[in-house]
């Protein structure tokens, strides 16, 4: 077509749900829209880049300089913490309405094979929050794979407060092996929470 068009398709391709064909359709729509869809999208992106950042407490997406909507919600149970890998996982739990505690977004999982150690994810702040919030319940909502397992073990071994009881559980039933949390439906996620089991 034209180089600038191909470059745009390259940028769209690979976004969730967008293969080459669908990226081309989206690009065409954007560049031929007469009401300025392209410029409007650019402005929305620029604003999001400027205004959003990770919540300083939990790592959720948040208005820059402010705690996120979950952390500032006075109705949330503050002694219950659900540890997730990424923000889409948190959003999926929120959409399912099945968790009333707070979250902690790790930003990744431990992976010795890929050289991602404890300092590569938000583990230090997890320890600090556990103490500051006097957390009584910790739910490990990490995926059902080797890295998820390793990360759960690492947390259970290193971040439980000494001399204070914390119920630690891991989600289990409901989430299919190799399934991804953002794509699970609300019922599946609720089952996963309800059927959590003690993690030793």
Rounded to the nearest 10 degrees, what angle do helices 37-51 and 20-32 cross at?
110
Beta carbon of residue 37, minimum distance to a copy of itself (angstroms, whole number): 7
- Member of 16, 65, 74, 163 binding a copy of itself (CB under 8 A): 16
- Is residue 12 part of the contact set for a copy of itself (CB under 8 A)? yes
- Is residue 11 part of the contact set for a copy of itself (CB under 8 A)? yes
Nearer to a copy of itself, 86 or 170 (CB): 86
Q: 174: closest CA among 149, 141, 152? A: 141
- SS3 of 44-84: HHHHHHHHEEECCCCCCEEECCCCCCCCCCCCCEEEEEEEE
Beta carbon of residue 13, minimum distance to a copy of itself (angstroms, whole number): 11
Question: E-assigned strands of 85-194?
Answer: 101-105, 137-141, 167-170
- Is residue 67 part of the contact set for a copy of itself (CB under 8 A)? no
Q: Which residues bind a copy of itself (CB under 8 A)?
A: 1-5, 7-8, 10-12, 15-18, 22, 24-32, 37-42, 44-52, 61-63, 68-69, 86-88, 91, 182
């Amino acid at each position: 077509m034209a180089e600038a068009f191909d470059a745009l398709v390259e940028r769209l391709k690979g976004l969730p749900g967008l293969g080459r064909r669908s990226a081309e359709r989206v690009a065409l729509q954007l560049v031929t829209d007469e009401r300025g869809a392209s410029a409007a999208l650019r402005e929305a992106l620029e604003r999001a880049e400027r205004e959003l950042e990770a919540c300083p407490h939990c790592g959720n997406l948040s208005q820059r300089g402010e705690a996120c909507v979950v952390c500032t919600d006075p109705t949330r149970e503050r002694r219950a913490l659900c540890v997730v890998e990424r923000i889409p996982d948190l959003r999926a739990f929120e959409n399912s309405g099945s968790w009333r505690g707070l979250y902690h977004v790790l930003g990744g999982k431990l992976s010795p094979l890929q050289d991602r150690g404890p300092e590569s994810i938000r583990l230090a702040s997890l320890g600090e929050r556990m103490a500051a919030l006097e957390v009584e319940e910790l739910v490990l909502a990490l995926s059902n794979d080797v890295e998820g397992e390793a990360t759960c073990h690492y947390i259970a071994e290193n971040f439980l407060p000494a001399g204070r009881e914390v119920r630690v559980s891991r989600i289990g039933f409901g989430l299919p092996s190799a399934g991804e949390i953002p794509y699970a439906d609300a019922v599946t996620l609720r089952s996963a929470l309800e059927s959590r089991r003690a993690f030793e």
